[in-house]
Amino acid sequence: MKTEIVENGNQVVATFSGRLDTPAAVQTTEDVKPLLATANKEIVLDCSELEYISSSGLRIFLSIRKEAGAHGSKVIVRNINDDIRQVFMMTGFVSLFEIQ
């Protein structure tokens, strides 16, 4: 699992690659800490290279949304594959995030 964060003006893009499963969630939690520090900007979670997300991964996304919401920002989730979209639909996450 790889997480890359790039700040671009008033937007911060986090790109997730690989499988965001329970073992990977520990490192990913550390990797997104800089993202939480910029929660006053629009946050884009690019999932074009994300193959799988577990409940631990969903908790990370939820913590990002919570922090952004506390600062009046929004979180956009982009490029999710059909399997991850189904997980988002089953868990109700599709209503929590703007999906593009």
| pLDDT tier at 35, thresholds 50, 70, 90 | confident
Please choose, from the candidates 9, 11, 78, 80, the residue with its C-alpha nearest in 3D space to the C-alpha of residue 43: 11
**41 DSSP 8-state letter:** S
Domain boundaries along the sequence of the chain: 2-99
pLDDT of 96 = 93
**Mean pLDDT across the chain:** 94
Q: Tell me: domain 2-99, CATH 3.30.565.10, correct? A: no
- For residue 4, pLDDT over 90 is answered with yes
| Residue 1 contacts residue 33 (beta carbons within 8 Å) | no
With 0.75 as the threshold, say if the pTM is over it.
Answer: yes
Query: Residue 39: is it exposed, middle or buried by C-beta count within 10 angstroms (0-12/13-18/19+)?
Result: buried
Backbone φ and ψ for 37, nearest 5 degrees, come out as -70, -20
Alpha helices per DSSP H over 1-100: 22-31, 33-37, 55-70, 82-91
